């Protein structure tokens, strides 16, 4: 029997979009803020505002610890990874700069870059990954020009779950004085990350995926050694600091954090981040678990489902994101049947990553995507494989 984890008893495999369920401590933390604290942090001197500020600071500290950052003030909260990537990309690149990215990127990276290129502000090189989605650092090295300002790539693919050799790519950036911006939307909370050792200058993360925070959370993290004044703010406005001045504060985090923060969300993100950091075996064990589930699913489906066609690896460490198809059916048909008849939630299509699907050869239809979380298990995968087998044999209920 499947474990009935939610009232509807669904199997949730759409964790690469956003994770569900969240650990109970996350909902409790949100509720605690909503019912007991409620105030605006950093704006007033009363007890409730001070307490709200304390939660935000603890969340900064927890995220800093997660990425090996020494100064928590270098954690800038945003509403998602997209906002953080826009902040980094639009904040760093200037007229005449050259930027390098890859064919595996999410639209949250490709679109701001493409927009800047279209307006004639920057020139852009898109490095082609191989069929499995992996980038060759040497190709990146060769693309560097005298005016290359930044390299922007994702740490882990939201399409196939592969993990890029970021430490090596970061080393190339350091050797060439190029800013290294890494999209960790899919890796934060799954793959161990050390912002310094991995040679990252600016890191973007999503709070609502593998950190198990609520939707509407994310952030931009600036390495301790990186001169943050090289990033122009995207937003200007009230920060609760230097209220007598009409100039935007030039210290952190206020330079980049105008407007009231999502404190309810950050309360949950703090709980989620602490839950992950102190979980048995740490992040290393989470990566093992995800890799194990990915391998188990692929091997079992390849054995039992005749027309199963997979684009993710069963061999390499991965974030537990599997792209696949059943050759006889459209991906939307299968996703609908999985949801309606088997209670299995997954995502189909292009996953906001058209270039990645071109790279793995699945454009324009895209694929189905299962994204496993720490709460998924082999029993659920067995059920899903049986469901796919029945669909493939035309025997669905």
Which of 108/148 has CB closer to ligand PLP? 108
Please, what is the Cα angle at 96 between 90 and 99, to 5 degrees? Answer: 55
Q: Are strands 321-326 and 202-206 parallel, antiparallel or unpaired?
A: unpaired
Q: Are strands 367-371 and 321-326 parallel, antiparallel or unpaired?
A: antiparallel
Which of 19/186 has CB closer to ligand PLP? 186
Binding site for ligand PLP (CB under 6 A): 17, 80-82, 106, 108, 154, 158, 183, 185-186, 206, 218
Which of 37/188 has CB closer to ligand PLP? 188
Measured from the CB of residue 153, what is the shortest distance to ligand PLP in angstroms?
A: 10
Measured from the CB of residue 15, what is the shortest distance to ligand PLP in angstroms?
A: 10
Classify the C-alpha dihedral 226-230-236-241 as positive or negative.
positive
Nearest to 366 by CA among 320, 391, 335: 335
Which of 80/148 has CB closer to ligand PLP? 80
Which of 49/154 has CB closer to ligand PLP? 154
Which of 190/271 has CB closer to ligand PLP? 190
Measured from the CB of residue 190, what is the shortest distance to ligand PLP in angstroms?
A: 12
Which of 26/391 has CB closer to ligand PLP? 26
Give the integer Cα–Cα distance in Å for 349 and 345.
14
From the number of C-beta atoms within 10 Å of its C-beta (0-12, 13-18, 19+), residue 361 rates as: exposed
Measured from the CB of residue 154, what is the shortest distance to ligand PLP in angstroms?
A: 4
Q: Does residue 65 have a cis peptide bond before it, meaning omega lies within 30 degrees of 0?
A: no
Measured from the CB of residue 303, what is the shortest distance to ligand PLP in angstroms?
A: 29
Measured from the CB of residue 396, what is the shortest distance to ligand PLP in angstroms?
A: 29
* C-alpha neighbours within 13 Å on the C-beta side of residue 26: 24
Measured from the CB of residue 235, what is the shortest distance to ligand PLP in angstroms?
A: 16
Which of 210/305 has CB closer to ligand PLP? 210
Measured from the CB of residue 351, what is the shortest distance to ligand PLP in angstroms?
A: 7
Q: Are strands 308-310 and 321-326 parallel, antiparallel or unpaired?
A: antiparallel
């Amino acid at each position: 029997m499947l474990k009935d984890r939610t009232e509807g008893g669904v199997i949730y495999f759409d964790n690469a979009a956003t994770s569900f369920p969240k650990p109970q401590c996350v909902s409790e933390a949100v509720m605690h803020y909503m019912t007991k604290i409620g105030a605006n942090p950093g704006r007033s001197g009363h007890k409730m505002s001070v307490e709200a500020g304390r939660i935000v600071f603890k969340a900064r500290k927890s995220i800093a610890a997660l990425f090996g950052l020494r100064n928590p003030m270098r954690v800038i909260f945003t509403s998602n990874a997209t906002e953080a990537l826009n902040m980094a990309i639009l904040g760093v690149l200037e007229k005449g700069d050259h930027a390098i990215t890859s064919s595996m990127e999410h639209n949250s990276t490709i679109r701001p870059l493409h927009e800047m290129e279209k307006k004639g502000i920057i020139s852009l090189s898109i490095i082609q990954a191989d069929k499995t989605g992996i980038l060759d650092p040497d190709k990146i090295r060769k693309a560097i020009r005298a005016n290359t300002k930044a390299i922007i790539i994702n740490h882990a693919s939201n399409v196939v779950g592969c993990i890029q050799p970021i430490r090596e790519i970061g080393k190339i950036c350091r050797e060439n004085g190029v800013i290294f911006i890494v999209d960790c939307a899919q890796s934060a909370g799954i793959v161990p990350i050390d912002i310094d050792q991995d040679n990252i200058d600016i890191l973007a993360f999503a709070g609502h995926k593998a950190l198990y925070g609520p939707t509407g959370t994310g952030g931009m993290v600036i390495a301790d050694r990186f001169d943050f004044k090289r990033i122009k703010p995207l937003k200007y406005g009230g920060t609760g600091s230097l209220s007598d001045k009409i100039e935007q504060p030039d210290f952190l985090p206020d330079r980049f954090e105008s407007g009231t923060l999502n404190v309810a969300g950050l309360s949950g993100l703090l709980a989620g981040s602490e839950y992950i950091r102190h979980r048995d075996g740490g992040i290393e064990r989470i990566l093992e678990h995800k890799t194990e589930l990915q391998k188990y699913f692929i091997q079992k489906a390849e054995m039992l489902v005749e027309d199963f066609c997979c684009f993710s690896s069963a061999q390499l460490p991965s974030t537990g994101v599997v792209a696949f198809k059943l050759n006889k059916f459209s991906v939307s048909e299968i996703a609908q049947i999985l949801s309606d008849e088997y209670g299995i939630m997954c995502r189909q299509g292009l996953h906001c990553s058209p270039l990645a699907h071109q790279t793995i050869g699945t454009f324009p239809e895209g694929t189905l995507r299962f994204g496993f979380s720490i709460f998924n298990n082999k029993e659920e995968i067995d059920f899903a494989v049986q469901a796919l087998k029945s669909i493939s044999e035309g025997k669905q209920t």
